[in-house]
């Protein structure tokens, strides 16, 4: 998968929040094979140098950091957070979140498009957390985004793919755009299903961080993502309404 001129071997991206310990986080990232991890600016403090141990651990893992604007509810707040993150993490990559509704954490798509345009004009490589709406997707691409990250279900819900039809439509309408399912994935089977739809990658956090064994769950997600992509590339059979015998009936012996 190539995004913003960078080729990635792994199609699984991990968040870094909610883990029981930094050691388990590090082991889960290693087990997943993920090359990209999301990091919140709130883990860092420029004045007090807080969070430096966490940042050092992430650097030592050799992964690419994708800072996010988690918790931002307006355009100005999201843009300012992105600008600060670029200085702290020394990257122009940003996972853009502009939250519009507190219960579902559904994106404010109007603010999202506006913020994406501002950041793209400033040279950011914007990874927008968005809904599965086709029109919003088109507006984000026009704003300068080169990748789309539609939700599968609300963040942290673990419900999987709430609207496979809409996700399939996005894939069909934008065949050349990297698409990443972000949010709502709860099981490896959910990730595999998204990859079988032709999606390019999966970004998840809670399903691994809150698992009884985060390391084992990270490995299982890596395997599911790979299996789903291989199945898509192989060309799955079309479903049928009627049975089709796998054994030929011609030449079958009939007893008198």
| Sequence-ordered list of residues with C-beta below 8 angstroms from that of 7, at least 6 positions apart, any chain | 1
Taking alpha carbons only, the member of 208, 160, 193 closest to residue 17 is 208
Torsions phi, psi of 33, nearest 5? Answer: 75, 10
SS3 of the chain: helix, strand, coil, percent, to 5: 40, 15, 45
Selected catalytic residue, list 76, 95, 219, 252: 95
Largest pairwise CA distance in the chain: 92
- Note if 95 is an active site residue: yes
Paired residues of 65 in beta bridges: 37
Reduced to 3 states (helix: H, G, I; strand: E, B; else coil), residue 75 is helix
Catalytic residues: 95
């Amino acid at each position: 998968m190539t995004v913003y001129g960078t080729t990635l071997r792994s199609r699984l991206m991990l968040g870094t929040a909610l883990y029981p310990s930094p050691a388990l986080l590090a082991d889960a990232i290693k087990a997943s094979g993920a090359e990209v991890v999301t990091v919140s600016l709130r883990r860092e403090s420029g004045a007090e140098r807080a969070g430096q141990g966490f940042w050092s651990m992430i650097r030592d893992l050799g992964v690419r950091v994708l800072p996010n604007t988690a918790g931002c509810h307006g355009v100005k707040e999201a843009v300012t957070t992105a600008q600060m993150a670029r200085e702290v993490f020394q990257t122009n990559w940003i996972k853009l979140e502009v939250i519009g509704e507190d219960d579902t954490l559904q994106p404010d798509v109007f603010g999202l498009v506006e913020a994406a345009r501002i950041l793209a004009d400033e040279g950011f490589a914007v990874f927008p957390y968005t809904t599965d709406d086709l029109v919003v997707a088109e507006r984000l691409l026009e704003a300068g985004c080169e990748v789309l990250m539609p939700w599968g279900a609300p963040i942290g819900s673990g419900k999987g793919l709430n609207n496979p039809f809409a996700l399939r439509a996005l894939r069909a309408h934008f065949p050349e755009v990297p698409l990443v399912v972000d949010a709502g994935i709860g099981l490896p089977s959910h990730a595999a299903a998204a990859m079988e739809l032709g999606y390019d990658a999966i970004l998840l956090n809670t399903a691994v961080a809150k698992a009884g064994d985060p390391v084992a769950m990270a490995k299982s997600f890596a395997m599911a993502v790979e299996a789903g992509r291989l199945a898509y590339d192989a060309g799955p059979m079309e479903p049928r309404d009627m049975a089709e015998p796998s054994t030929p009936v011609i030449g079958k012996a009939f007893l008198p």
